Structure 1
Amino acid sequence: MLQKTNAATLAEHDYNEHPESHSVFGFWVYLMTDCILFASLFAVFGVMAHQFAGGPTGKDLFDIPGVALETGVLLLSSITYGFAMLGAHQRKSGTVLGWLAVTFALGVTFLVIELREFSHLIEQGAGPDRSAFLSSFFALVSTHGLHVFTGLIWMVVLMVQVVRSQNLGEQEVRRLTCLSLFWHFLDVVWICVFTFVYLGSVL
């Protein structure tokens, strides 16, 4: 009887020390709300895609090879984040930090290319106020870029937490998993942007 009581007490202690977390499920719910946001922006672009107001069209403006490079950089960052997650499950902090640093650099490169594109379009007089087509384009692409920027800040925070932790525990791995879901989600959204916005406007 005493052994059963001790076992129950120990089990209760473990549960209190490592309570079940629903953060990953909650983050899936958040991603669903983000899906609604981007679906709305895609719908607006679909309606405004041919409202040029006498201004330039996608064929006149978009540099597909440059956007393809931008796409490749972001997709590569998704692969490198996958390597970071492999290191996290193996509890290798150095591996995680190394691949997160590479992922961060690729994410920054993506944003630099995107900002250069925006700057070039505005210099050509093709800013968001030129036509409904360009307004919807800037709204959609810049919203995605803002998400990438947020992901990069989040990544830095997690890197600091990994450095401070003596070893990678379940809490750190769970946080890395949530960011992994977010980062891969942004890749999927960008593939839709590349296909629907860029290629759809040029073809």
Structure 2
Amino acid sequence: MTGAVTAEHEHDTHEEKTLGFWLYLMSDAIIFALLFMTYVVMVNNTAGGPAGRELFDVGHVFAETMVLLASSITFGFASVALVSKSKAGVLAWLIITFLLGFSFVAMEIIEFLGMIAQDAGPGRSGFLSAFFTLVGTHGLHVSLGLVWIVVMLAQVAVKGLTAPVGSRLMRLGLFWHFLDIIWIGIFSVVYLPGVL
């Protein structure tokens, strides 16, 4: 009887944490909505400096997009491995996801450094300030996601695929896929109109 009560309490605790995490994601969505709105308002405020069509490299951004979307697929495979209780599979797919996410962040840093080298840093104009803030905030979130992946790799390796570890992995999956959705928005609202 005590085991059943403990299992029920543990299940309720995981559901409460999942609800709390959904609330966090909604607040994060509001932050990104505000950043998107700021960008849309500031996009034409170039202060005589370069606009998106002079700065954005669609090929580079498309490669970034493919890398991030691939990381979402590999995280999906990690989730499938979690359901089938394959510790080795979870670890392998999380490592691949980490490498893809790290590649995305490195590509974003290269893009930023290239823009700054062209005297197109965030202090140049309202447009660039809004661009760096929006895209940089997304990059910061991906970087935090990479730290979270490292933590989960350690937990899976040490604790195995316990219910709490599985619950944390599922929340990480929500976060990771959320970032992919935000990036699709950035690609569609910032980069594509910027080069047209």
Normalised by the length of structure 1, the TM-score is: 0.93
Matched AA of 2:174: L
Q: Distance in 1 between matches of 2:161 and 2:135?
A: 35
1:11 is displaced (CA, Å) by 3.2
Which stretches of structure 1, 4 residues or longer, exceed 2 Å deviation after superposition?
8-16
Find the residue that maps to 1:160 and give its secondary structure. Answer: helix
Where in structure 2 are there 5+ consecutive unaligned residues? none
1:19 is displaced (CA, Å) by 4.7
- Match of 1:99? 93
Q: Distance in 1 between matches of 2:188 and 2:42?
A: 16
Q: Distance in 2 between matches of 1:57 and 1:143?
A: 20
Matched, 1:56 2:50: yes
- Percent identity of paired positions between Structure 1 and Structure 2: 49
Q: Distance in 2 between matches of 1:75 and 1:130?
A: 31
Matched AA of 1:151: G
Matched, 1:194 2:187: yes
Where in structure 1 are there 5+ consecutive unaligned residues? 1-7
Q: Distance in 2 between matches of 1:138 and 1:126?
A: 10
Q: Deviations over 1:151-198 (max 9, x none)?
A: 000000010000001x31211111000000000000000000011000
Matched AA of 2:179: L
- Match of 2:118? 124
Matched AA of 1:194: F
Mark the CA change 1:138 to 1:89 in structure 2 (over 3 Å): closer, same or farther. same
Q: Distance in 2 between matches of 1:27 and 1:107?
A: 21
- Match of 1:178? 171
Matched, 1:12 2:2: no
Which residues of 2 match residues 38-187 of structure 1 at below 5 A? 38-165=32-159, 167-187=160-180
- Match of 1:4? none
Structure of greater Rg? 1
Q: Distance in 2 between matches of 1:46 and 1:91?
A: 45
RMSD in angstroms over aligned alpha carbons? 1.1
Mark the CA change 1:201 to 1:91 in structure 2 (over 3 Å): closer, same or farther. same
Find the residue that maps to 1:74 and give its secondary structure. Answer: helix
Normalised by the length of structure 2, the TM-score is: 0.96
Aligned residues, how many? 194
1:14 is displaced (CA, Å) by 4.0
